[in-house]
Structure formats: structure tokens, C-alpha cells
Structure 1
Amino acid sequence: MLEHLNKGDYIKPRQGETKLGEDFIWLGRDWRDEMTSDQLKYVIVGVREDFGPRANLGKPGAKDFFDAFLTTWCNFQSNQFLNGKEVAVLGCVDFAKNLKISKSSTYSLSELRQGVEKMDEILWTILKDVYKQNKIPILVGGGHNNAFPLIKGAAVAFNNAIQALNFDAHSDFRNTQEGRHSGNSFSLAMESGFLDYYCVAGLHKNYNSQYLIDTMDAKKIATLYLEDIPIGASEEFLNQWIEVKLKSNRKLGIEIDMDGIENIKSSAQSPYGFSLRTMRNLIQYLAGDKRICYLNITEAIPDENNQSAKAASYLVGDFINRKT
């Protein structure tokens, strides 16, 4: 189910230029042995699926995002400001094509949720081996359901629960008893003992039910609603909030749900959210934090103007350009 990729399918070479994707290490079947280099820090893992958003009553389309992203990002320029020599491309887990839940081509809600459970099991075992090589996975594509296998893989590999910082309009802390989907990764991770602490910034007051608000309060989740950020507040305000809320002694997962950025095509696109500039500044601020163990770019859908893929490419570029 893990498809290793041919760089020639993504890079558009041009004489006199070096494209970012030409710097990458493109891993193959022996990827566990191939990513042992000390120079290598980041491992790109793609996911083709929209089972999670659809199982959460959201829009389809996230299954097509990874390829749009990788084509865009690979063709950024490699130069003195950004290069990809610390990056490997592991490949793409193609659930959209290979995960068979039933003989029918249209799945019921219960079948979609069963599919998400299967995806959880496949993904966390792959990611666990990336963590064990002390590399930082960057997961791109699919729904926010994939936060759970990222968290579980890290907790198992490091033998300790982690913390997560999520930039999102939604809490994704729904009841786990209704079945797996993109809206309950963090609640499941906490119930399972893999997530010790959770912060979510950019929540919309219109999108979170009173039940969810009460549940998050009871679990001592750190929440920052977008409406409560002072008008005209600088990025320093957000940086200070993050600094105060995070725990000092836990590995840290960074989550970017693209529906938390204004006017980005996603499973829950909104005209209201963080600006892309603000989100870039936040990632630049966070990127040097040595607690970070993964980055998840999720819920985006390709658009005809390629804006969502470009936005994700800027964010991943900011993340790997961290100063350590």
C-alpha cells in the first residue's frame, strides 16, 4: 500500500536551475536502511484518502491533495535561502486506490469509519519506524484522522505520551464512541494514553458545540478562540500564548488543518481564519523547537489555481528551514 515515487513524475527541470526536489533523497523498497544518514532530518509521507473527512460528514477531495502539493513543492527553487538536502521522500500511502472496505463502490457511513480504523493501523506502523530513525515525518494529505496514527507512532517509538499543538477551526475532540473519523483523533489519542497534553489555537466559536467546549474544559485542553485574539495583535501575542501553554518535557506534534487558514480550499473551507502570513510566521517561530517530532498538513483540497498546494508548500518550506 506504500507507493514509492519517481522524482521524474514531479520535477520539471530547467537548465541553469536546481529545483528543490532535485535535492531530495527519494527512498525505495529498502527505505528503513536508506534513511540512516545523519544529514537527513525530514521524511515526507503522503496520504491519498478522504475516508476520514467523509466519515465526519465533510467534503471529499483530500485524497488528491498530496500529489498537487508535491508537484508544487518539488519545483520551488533550491538556493541560498532554502534547499532540500535534509529531506527524503518516503512515498505515498494510497488508501483511495487500495483500501477495499466492501464490494460496493459507494460506502456507508459505518463502512467509511471502519476504513479509518484500518488506515490507523497501517499508518502508525510505518510512522513508528520513521521516528525510530530519529527523523521527523511530515505527513501531507488526507483528513485530520491521520493525527491519531502520527501521535500513536511517536508515543510507541519514544515510549512516552506526547503533546500536540493544533492550528484549527475545529477541536477534533468529538466522542470516540460514534466511530473513527477526522473529528476525533485527539480525543482517541488522549483516551488511549498516547497524548498527554493538547493545545488548539484558532478555534471558531461557531464551529464547536457546548458539549465539546465542556469536554475540553474538563480535560484541561488549552484553547484559543480566533475571536478572542485582539484585533491587530502581532504574532508575538500568539507566540507568547504558545510558549506559556506548551509543556517543557514532552515531544511535540505540530498540526495544521488547512481549514484554519482563511480562503484555502479544504474539507471545511472558511473566509475567516488565520492569514497565511500569520501561519507562516507561527511555523517559523516554532520550527526550531527541538521538542518537535512531526508536522501534519491536513484537510486541504486541490484547486484550479493551485493556491492550496502553494500555501502548504510555503508552510513546509518554513518548517524545514528551521535554524537549530
Structure 2
Amino acid sequence: MDSLKIYSQSDIDNLIIHRKGERKLGENVGIYNPNDSSSIDKISLEGLKNSSAKFVLLGIPEDIGVRANSGVAGTSTTWRPALVAFLNIQSNQFLNGKEILVLGHFEIEEPEDSEIDCLRVKVTEIDNLVYPVIEKIVAAGKIPIVIGGGHNNAFPMIKGTSLAHKKAIDVLNIDAHADLRDQEGRHSGNGFTYALAEKFLENYFMYGLHQNYNNEAILNQIESNPQLKAVFFDDILKGIEEQNFFTGLSTIAGLEIDLDSIQNVLSSAETPSGFSVNDIRRLILTNEKRFSYLHISEGATRLLDGRVSKLTSKLIAYLVSDFVKAQA
């Protein structure tokens, strides 16, 4: 049965690499620890509010949504190595670790049938597993930081945040793809379509779209719908960019980072042309916007086709630590 595994202190301690004279973030992070917190229903608002941490870190290690979109499996491999990399960052004057509560990760069973239609049904089940947890975290006044997993999980991130605030929210998505494919059953390519249709998403800001990899129907949507606002990576290369793009975001907004927007990062849609790692780090560190959540998706440490990268986990650790520093 699908569930949320809530981490104990020993779960965290087992991931820390100790070194004499040093202290790691993992030695300072908090855990959710009311008695018998073994299910989603037992995560209470009061339990979350009792933590002094501002940020709640959790993982969705799955690639069902990617496969449901005919992509290469592998995003399920990211969460644990990324968590290890993050917990072993130095605790120092720049980042202490006490700002973060590590909640745990979702354990998602494989569907018995791997046909596309069955995978898409399973993605809907994942949606319904994830969004209530996000809703509780946001309602408790915390900022969820979620490491995926496929970009299908943008939908429950948006839904949970919207329900907590009782209004539709804005989203900034740094991505090569708009993920506005049809409502043809849930998958990693239509999370924002469903969020718009179900009125959880108000304004959708897309930053870094690639002209080569968004179909004509999606481009027509962007041109005709005032809720959709896009900056193309091709225009950024030409020095053509809307100067006040980010200032249009409302006071309640989520930040989505699809790692396939960064060049040479292992993902189902890995690209040789895209933002540099430092472009994204700079954007996070210098953006004055206060975000309601961070969702990092589509990265992999190992893909089903045999490609492997040890750097994805460290990249994610950089992005998470940058976000906490900037938002704190």
C-alpha cells in the first residue's frame, strides 16, 4: 500500500558522514516526532507547528509519471542520494540546519500493469497521496521543499498549497517544456493543465522554454491565454527578455525547477543546451520573491537506459541550500 514514511532520528543519523572537528546539517535538522506518526492521517497541524523549523523537506522517489508520458525511467533514483548530499553539507554561519525539518518520503508501489493507461491511473493515486500532506505543511505555516520524482507531482504541490491558502496560486516554472499537454490521463507532461482546469493555478509563469520542444498546440495556448506567461530560452540567448517577468508573481506562488532545463544534468529529457547550474543558483539566491514551496523534479542518478551521474545529488543539495538561505 502507498504510504508516507516518516523519518526517525536514526533514519537521519545513518546518513551522516561524521568527521572530527566538523558538524553537518544532518546533525541539526529536526524530525517530526509525535508518538506513533506512521501514517499521513497522524501528521497534525499542531505537530508541524510545534517545530521551530521553517522548511519541511520530503521526497517523492517515483518515475511512474515519467513513464506514463513515454519517458525514460530513473527519477525514482534521486531522493536518497540527494538527501545524503544535503545532510552532509557543513553546518556553519551560512546555514545551520535547524531551519529544516526532514519529514520523510512517499513509498509508492508499482502498478501491476505497466500499460500507459494503468500508469496514468496510478499517477492520479499519487496525486491523492501527496496533496493532503502538502496542504497540512503549508497550513502549518511551513514551506515544503520536495525532491522528486517526475514533474507530474507539480499538480499535487499546487493543489495542496492552493487548498491551504483557500485560493488559486501562481507558479514560476523553470523548464524547457511547458507541461501543458492534454487532459488525457495524468502524467509528467500535464500537471499544469490539470491545475489550471481545476482552478488551483491562477497565473503560470514559464521561464526558459525551448522553441524546439513545445508543440504548436501548446504555443497557441500560451499566445491565447492571459494566464500563461512565457520567456523562451532561445530569446534569452538573443538577449531578448522581459525585464519585469518575475515581478508579476502574486504574493502566494510556488517555485518549480525541472532539472531538464539545466544543460548536461541527467534526466529523461537531458539537454546539451540550457541554463548552467550557476544560472539557476544565481536566480534562486538573488530573487527577492518569497515562495510558498520549492519542487525539484525530473533529475536522476541512474536511468533505465544505463546512463549514470553522481553529480545530480550534489546539484540538488546546492539548490535546496540556496533556496533555504534566500528564503530564510
1:186 lines up with 2:179 in the alignment: no
- Residue 293 of structure 1, CA deviation: 0.6
Task: Evaluate the alpha carbon distance shift between residue 74 and residue 238 of structure 1 in structure 2; reply closer, same or farther with a 3 A threshold.
Answer: farther
- Residue 323 of structure 1, CA deviation: 5.6
Residue identity in the other structure for 1:119: I
Q: Quote the Cα distance in structure 2 between the aligned partners of 1:206 and 1:4.
A: 41
Residue matched to 1:302:
301
Contact 1:31 1:90 in 2 (8 A): no
Residue matched to 1:228:
235
Q: Deviations over 1:168-205 (max 9, x none)?
A: 000001111x1100000111100101000000011111
Residue identity in the other structure for 1:300: G
1:90 lines up with 2:103 in the alignment: yes
Contact 2:266 2:309 in 1 (8 A): no
Among 21, 40, 51, the alignment partner of 1:16 is 21
Q: Secondary structure at the match of 2:145?
A: strand
Task: Evaluate the alpha carbon distance shift between residue 230 and residue 271 of structure 1 in structure 2; reply closer, same or farther with a 3 A threshold.
Answer: closer
The answer for unaligned runs of 5 or more in structure 1 is: none
1:56 lines up with 2:55 in the alignment: no
Residue identity in the other structure for 2:266: K
Residue matched to 2:305:
none
Q: Provide the alpha-carbon RMSD of the alignment.
A: 1.8
1:275 lines up with 2:276 in the alignment: yes
Q: Quote the Cα distance in structure 2 between the aligned partners of 1:31 and 1:112.
A: 28
Residue matched to 1:204:
210
Q: 1:130-169 to 2 correspondence within 5 Å? A: 130-169=137-176
Contact 1:239 1:282 in 2 (8 A): no
Q: Quote the Cα distance in structure 2 between the aligned partners of 1:283 and 1:211.
A: 31
Q: Quote the Cα distance in structure 1 between the aligned partners of 2:51 and 2:30.
A: 13
Contact 1:20 1:74 in 2 (8 A): yes
Among 217, 225, 234, the alignment partner of 1:219 is 225
Q: Quote the Cα distance in structure 1 between the aligned partners of 2:93 and 2:235.
A: 39
Residue matched to 2:120:
113
User: TM-score w.r.t. structure 1 length?
Assistant: 0.91
> How many residues are paired up?
309
Residue identity in the other structure for 1:321: K
Q: Quote the Cα distance in structure 2 between the aligned partners of 1:263 and 1:100.
A: 29
Q: Quote the Cα distance in structure 2 between the aligned partners of 1:275 and 1:68.
A: 21
Residue identity in the other structure for 1:19: K
Among 67, 73, 78, the alignment partner of 2:91 is 78
Q: Secondary structure at the match of 1:16?
A: coil
Residue matched to 2:180:
173
Q: Quote the Cα distance in structure 2 between the aligned partners of 1:264 and 1:128.
A: 30
Q: Quote the Cα distance in structure 2 between the aligned partners of 1:253 and 1:211.
A: 25
Residue matched to 2:246:
243
Task: Evaluate the alpha carbon distance shift between residue 323 and residue 8 of structure 1 in structure 2; reply closer, same or farther with a 3 A threshold.
Answer: closer
Residue identity in the other structure for 1:60: A
- Residue 238 of structure 1, CA deviation: 6.7
- Residue 20 of structure 1, CA deviation: 1.0
Q: Quote the Cα distance in structure 2 between the aligned partners of 1:186 and 1:144.
A: 9
Q: Quote the Cα distance in structure 2 between the aligned partners of 1:67 and 1:141.
A: 10
- Residue 67 of structure 1, CA deviation: 0.4
Q: Quote the Cα distance in structure 2 between the aligned partners of 1:269 and 1:184.
A: 19
Contact 2:231 2:241 in 1 (8 A): no
Does 297-306 or 119-128 show the bigger shift?
A: 297-306
Residue identity in the other structure for 1:283: I
Percent of pairs with identical residues? 37
Residue identity in the other structure for 1:44: L
Residue matched to 2:111:
101
Q: Deviations over 1:283-307 (max 9, x none)?
A: 1123x423x1100000000155521
The answer for unaligned runs of 5 or more in structure 2 is: 303-307
Task: Evaluate the alpha carbon distance shift between residue 323 and residue 89 of structure 1 in structure 2; reply closer, same or farther with a 3 A threshold.
Answer: closer
